[in-house]
Each structure stands twice: as structure tokens, then as C-alpha cells.
Amino acid sequence: MAIDQNYTTASLPPALTLYYDGNCPLCKAEMIYLSARDTEGRLGFMDVRQTEALDTLSGVTCQSALANIHAVTPGGQILIGVQAFQLAYGLVGLKRLSWFLGIRALQPAFGLCYRLFATHRYTLSKVFGGLAMRLVKIITKRDRL
């Protein structure tokens, strides 16, 4: 189910749709932050735990989608992990962060760090999830997707 889609024109699809784990407080905090920065409606958001979410992400299992964030462009290109964040950050005006994530020499390190985060996100959420949600609510003045 698409949530909090703030497209500027209802007929325009988002430039990127992010498929995230809605049961992960850290993941959800990041999506709330991106949604708040997305003043031009360039991003779409899909919680992969919603029954119809993966219908539009052909060939991707729920297990795979839960293991790594996935994103899809209107043309059907699927981006996974750091690549998804790199494009999303660029679309919401975080150009320096997007550029940094795109540095080829650092891709192996970014990939490793993301895999570690994704694998341990529930443990990390137990420690930092509440704080992350409070901070993102303060920063963005939003509390949900």
C-alpha cells in the first residue's frame, strides 16, 4: 500500500519508489525524514509488509525485500541498498550525501556497512529506534508515513 504520497500532480508517478520495512523503527524514521524533505513529490513509499506492496516489484520476494531496501524507477529499474539511498537522497536535495554515496572507491565499504545495518537493524532499533523516531518528529514535524 502506498502511503503518504505527496505527488505534486496525481498523474505523475514518483521518480523513485522506496520499499522499506515498516516494522523497523530506524527504517521508518528514515522514510519519514525523506518524505518530509520530498517537497516536490518525487518519492513514493511502500511498506513491504503490506500485502500488495510487492505486486509492483516483480521478481522480488518478501524475504529479499526485507533483507535490503529496494527501490524502483518508473522504467522498472530496481536499485538495492546503498544505490537506492543514493538516488533517493539526490531526489530530495541531499546532493552532497548522494555524491558521497556514489564514490566508486568507497562502494565496497558502503555496501558492507549497509549489509551490517540491515542484518542487525532490529537490534539497533531496540537501542536507537525510539530516539530516532523522536528526533525525526522534531526535525520534520511529522510523526507518520
Digits of tens for pLDDT over the chain (145 positions)? 334 444 444 557 899 999 999 999 999 999 999 999 999 999 999 998 886 777 777 778 888 888 999 999 999 899 999 999 999 999 999 999 999 999 999 999 999 999 999 999 999 999 999 999 999 988 888 656 6
Question: With left for phi above 0 and alpha for psi between -120 and 50, is residue 103 left, alpha or beta?
Answer: beta
> What's the confidence (pLDDT) of residue 5?
45
How many C-beta atoms surround the C-beta of residue 4 within 10 A?
15
> What's the confidence (pLDDT) of residue 4?
47
Query: Which distant-in-sequence residues (6+ apart) come within 8 Å of 120 by Cβ?
Result: none
| Cβ(3)–Cβ(145) below 8 Å | yes
User: In degrees to the nearest 10, what's the CA dihedral of 57, 39, 81, 50?
Assistant: -40
| Cβ(81)–Cβ(68) below 8 Å | yes
Query: Which distant-in-sequence residues (6+ apart) come within 8 Å of 87 by Cβ?
Result: 16, 71, 73, 79, 98
